[in-house]
Amino acid sequence: MRIASLVLFLIGLALPARAGDFPDKGDPAEATRRTLATADGPRDYLVQPLPGRGPRPVVILLHGGTQEARQIWKQTSLATIARREGFILVAPNGLDRHWNDGRGATIAAGPPSTADDIGFLLAVIDDVARRDGGDPRTVFMAGVSNGGFMAMAFACSGRFQLKAGANLISNLPAAAVGACKAAPTPWLSLNGTSDSVIPFAGQPAGTVRRGEEQPALLSADETFLFFAARAGCARETLRDRLPDLDPGDGSWVERKTHPCPGARSAVQYIVHNGGHVTPGLALGPVLGRMLGGVNMDVDTGSLLWSFFGDQRR
């Protein structure tokens, strides 16, 4: 197993710690697993249905490369927040633990996926709408790493109008800029300035990482501004530093808010001295340093729903 693949696998096994008043992380044993027939064979997803009738908002959470839905489910608090706030949480599984995110490259073991993941995600949305009362007009999507690239590829396909989207620790491929057909969509981006896997500053074409040539990537700032501009959002009107709940981690979070038409917004979170790991996920000191640093000042699930909930209203 390649080093990059091993590192991402270990992240999947990491136990998320509870800091401050953060909501509890999800328990995948409490989720329902469903299987759909697709052109790529049987595909499955986890869902947390809600009692009563819809329509209900839907949040789709996409795992990182080498991971699976069960792992990302227990790495965020979205399942806990979903029960409290009344939205349906869905975590689909990529084929062979990867998403076909359009990059044509991967820094983990194995060749890039060729699966029709956009078609699969559309089928998941249809299935949740039919069986659980999910509202197809109020679907949010967030992805981590490989899942973040997939969330951007899904939006750029132009085949479905998300209510809002989010890419976490991932940057937009430069080749996607001209081809992106995304409709105006409120957007959230979150990246660490010390990310050792997906550089905050982006990367030029031909960069070799873990022995494999990589495509050009926009910087984290350029990625966020691309989606904010497509949504018609103005320049930032608020830049603030979030409370440093854990000064010992050497990291802090900056938030930039851009107003968008219709009283909506686009938000960028910059995790200064943070690495390739979402805030609020505890890792051992060695693994944390390998990925660029861990931040325990904020809860990623809470950040996501705070943003998504505002767009719904």
Contact 154, 101 (CB under 8 A): no
CA 197 to chain centre: 15
Give the pLDDT of residue 116: 97
Q: In what order do the strands lie in the sheet with 32-38?
A: 32-38, 41-48, 88-92, 56-62, 134-144, 164-168, 187-192, 264-272, 252-260, 238-241
Q: Are 144 and 64 in contact (CB under 8 A)?
A: yes
The CATH number of 3-233+298-312 is: 3.40.50.1820
Domains of the chain by residue range: 3-233+298-312
Picking from 244, 238, 290, the residue whose alpha carbon sits closest to that of residue 265 is 238
Q: Show the beta-strand stretches assigned E in the chain.
A: 32-38, 41-48, 56-62, 88-92, 134-144, 164-168, 187-192, 208-209, 212-213, 238-241, 252-260, 264-272
* One-letter identity of residue 209: R
How confident is the prediction along the chain (313 residues), in pLDDT tens digits per residue?
344 444 444 444 444 444 458 999 999 999 999 999 999 999 999 999 999 888 999 999 999 999 999 999 999 999 999 999 999 999 999 999 999 998 887 666 567 789 999 999 999 999 999 999 999 999 999 999 999 999 999 999 999 999 999 999 999 999 999 999 999 999 999 999 999 899 999 999 988 876 778 899 999 999 999 999 999 999 988 999 999 998 888 899 999 999 999 888 999 999 999 999 999 988 777 667 777 788 999 999 999 999 999 998 6
Instruction: Please tell me the pTM assigned to this model.
Output: 0.91
